[in-house]
Amino acid sequence: MWSPKGESLSELVTTIVDPDPASLAGTAEQFLIELGGPTEILVTGRDRSRWRVLIVLMHGNEPSGPIAAWRWLRSGARPAVDISIFVLAVDAATEPPGFAHRMLPGKRDLNRCFVPPFDDDNGKLAREVLRRIRRRPCEALIDIHNNTGLNPAYGIINRPGLDRLKLVELFTNSCCILSDLNIGALTEVIVDDISSVAIECGHSRDPAAHDVALAGIERFVNTQDLELDTELNRDISLFDHPIRVRLRNGLTVRFSDQPDPTYDLTLRADIDNHNFHTLDPGTVLGWIQPGCAWPLVALGADQKDVSHLHFAISDDKLIFTTDRVPVMMTTDPIVARQDCLCYLMHVHDWLADLTGPDTP
Ligand SMILES: [Zn+2]
């Protein structure tokens, strides 16, 4: 087995240094079971003076990050610089049937816990992760996620910057979202300290998403100089100012092709086909029970509910009334209730504000 090197860090996170690839379990699921809890795996690089961080399994139902990290560790490849891989929601991921729980019942969403108070289990874990990330100058941080609807792989950044866009493009050239939301996520909290991005690799059950994660991780760990040795692709689609659309508390919802009178709101089972597409105003998203209260809450960075600007109810149908682009629409009722239904994006070439329209 691996022999963790003693460090004066909290035992909330186990530390493993340079695991022997031959000792790693034969499946990603078994690998997580053997980790047994939140773990920092440090792989020493050719240049020991520099350090990059990879976060996987922030959410227990998002397997692409841990599967790709496990595959890369099994390859035994030596990275260009020191790499720490934080494998976080191991408890939720290993709870049967496996990769089924975003977090364990009764716990908070870990990626909402990176701001005080740090007084519960996931708050304490988030504080320890922050402490470890800040203990040493870090060149760049990637936080790998999946979602549950049909989406291309895309990146989310919290400050405009060519360095951040280049990090996204290690994984995908499709889309990048500049977010000004403050929901307690890791990448928001470290935005002024570290060049950091979140990557949504694609659907959690799509093996292609795991391949996106692995290819991106290999580029992230092998690239000598993330600034000089990477090209900027200007064809990427850019969005900003997301609005997070949630279901009103207590609303009952299902996804179906026709209205179900036993639920307050029936959403079309194929609404995730709309992700990253501009919709015609009037597009029907679902059906609401007559007399049911307004079903949605939509908050931007200013925390004002603007749901009535982007949706309407007409003839007991929920319709779309905006030129904003929906992303991350889910068709999973648990995700829709626990996290959100979707984000609405503003199309804006914020890169042009940095570089001018013609200069790559
Ligand atoms: Zn996630």
- What is the tens place of the pLDDT at every residue in 220-243? 999 999 999 998 888 899 999 999
Flag whether 360 is in a domain: no
What is the structure's pLDDT at 350?
87
Give the confidence band of 10 by pLDDT, cuts at 50, 70, 90: confident
93: amino acid identity, one letter: A
Instruction: Tell whether 330 and 198 lie within a shared domain.
Output: no
Range of weakest confidence among 182-191, 214-223, 226-235, 261-270:
226-235
> Given a cut of 50, is residue 2 above it in pLDDT?
no
Q: What's the half-sphere exposure (Cβ side, CA atoms, 13 Å) at 310?
A: 27
Distance 168 CA to ligand 1 centre (A): 16
> Given a cut of 50, is residue 62 above it in pLDDT?
yes
Distance 147 CA to ligand 1 centre (A): 7
What is the structure's pLDDT at 6?
42
Distance 47 CA to ligand 1 centre (A): 31
Rounded to two decimals, the pTM is: 0.91
Cα distance between residue 67 and residue 56, in whole Å: 9
Residue 71: CB atoms within 10 A of its CB come to 18
> Given a cut of 90, is residue 339 above it in pLDDT?
no
Cβ contacts of residue 173 below 8 Å, gap of 6+?
233, 235, 236
Instruction: Tell whether 173 and 272 lie within a shared domain.
Output: no
> Given a cut of 90, is residue 135 above it in pLDDT?
yes
> Given a cut of 90, is residue 1 above it in pLDDT?
no
Distance 156 CA to ligand 1 centre (A): 12
Kindly state the average pLDDT of the residues 328-349. 91
Instruction: Tell whether 227 and 268 lie within a shared domain.
Output: no
Distance 198 CA to ligand 1 centre (A): 9
Instruction: Tell whether 190 and 76 lie within a shared domain.
Output: yes
Under 8 Å between Cβ of 283 and 321: no
Instruction: Tell whether 65 and 125 lie within a shared domain.
Output: yes
Q: ∠ at Cα 113 (63, 272), nearest 5°? A: 45
Give the domain-ending residue among 184, 204, 233: 233
Flag whether 19 is in a domain: yes
Instruction: Tell whether 250 and 210 lie within a shared domain.
Output: no
> Given a cut of 70, is residue 358 above it in pLDDT?
no
CATH number at residue 223: 3.40.630.10
Distance 313 CA to ligand 1 centre (A): 30
Distance 201 CA to ligand 1 centre (A): 10
Distance 193 CA to ligand 1 centre (A): 22
Instruction: Tell whether 43 and 71 lie within a shared domain.
Output: yes
Give the domain-ending residue among 178, 210, 233: 233
Instruction: Tell whether 271 and 215 lie within a shared domain.
Output: no
Q: Report the percent of the chain where pLDDT is more than 70.
A: 96
Distance 62 CA to ligand 1 centre (A): 6
b/e sequence 245-279, b meaning 16+ C-beta within 10 Å: bbbeeebbbbbeeebbeebbbbbbeebbebbbeeb
Task: Look up tokens 């929920």; give the residue.
Answer: 318
b/e sequence 129-146, b meaning 16+ C-beta within 10 Å: bbebbeeeebbbbbbbbb
> Given a cut of 90, is residue 356 above it in pLDDT?
no
The boundaries of the domain holding residue 306 are 243-344
Instruction: Tell whether 219 and 264 lie within a shared domain.
Output: no
Instruction: Tell whether 250 and 211 lie within a shared domain.
Output: no
Range of weakest confidence among 47-51, 87-91, 213-217, 228-232:
228-232
Flag whether 350 is in a domain: no
Residue 334: CB atoms within 10 A of its CB come to 13
Instruction: Tell whether 255 and 338 lie within a shared domain.
Output: yes
Give the confidence band of 354 by pLDDT, cuts at 50, 70, 90: confident
Instruction: Tell whether 150 and 90 lie within a shared domain.
Output: yes
What is the structure's pLDDT at 265?
97
Distance 111 CA to ligand 1 centre (A): 8
Count the domains in the chain: 2
Distance 261 CA to ligand 1 centre (A): 32
Distance 199 CA to ligand 1 centre (A): 9
